[in-house]
Amino acid sequence: MKTQPSKLESRFQRVTRRVHPLIKCFLHQMFKQVIIKLLSILLILPSFSFPQNITTSISGFVTDAVTGEALIGTNILIYKDTIDISNPPFSGTATNSYGFFVFPNLTKGNYFQIIRHIGYKTIIKEILLDGKRDQIVINIKIQNEEVKLE
């Protein structure tokens, strides 16, 4: 047998019926705000928390120290951290018809550059890349090597 709800119970049911949609709307709005904030944090966080792989390029011209003429085909080798002739170089290139060379996409670290051209003195340069600059220009002037025939 069904009993009649008391006045207090019926009043509670009426109030909850009126409040329930408001609570539901409020919770829905709060949920949306929380989701939006979480997504914003997740999208922004990777740019701050993970180190950026900043690369640097080394470029320049190789010229004769006396005449200033561009040296075509000059060999330039780069070793990372140490010069170990028993191991292959990190990278290598030759100058073009303007005496220009470039080593792109080098990560930060200590590099040794060996510049060689037939009839000229070999040059060894140490280059420290700190990752603060994206390009380093090194113009190199090479001295003639005196060759004595016996």
What is the per-residue pLDDT across 50-83, written as a single tens digit (0 to 9) for each? 555 678 899 999 999 999 999 999 999 999 888 8
Task: Return the higher-pLDDT residue of 48 and 3.
Answer: 3
More confident residue, 24 or 66: 66
Stated length of the chain? 150
| Average pLDDT of the chain to the nearest whole number | 81
List Cβ neighbours of 120 (8 Å cut-off, separation of 6 or more).
Answer: 64, 71, 74, 142, 143, 144, 145
Is residue 108 scored above 70 in pLDDT? yes
pLDDT number for residue 27: 62
Cβ neighbors of 99 (< 8 A, separation 6 or more) are: 61, 62, 63, 70, 71, 72, 74
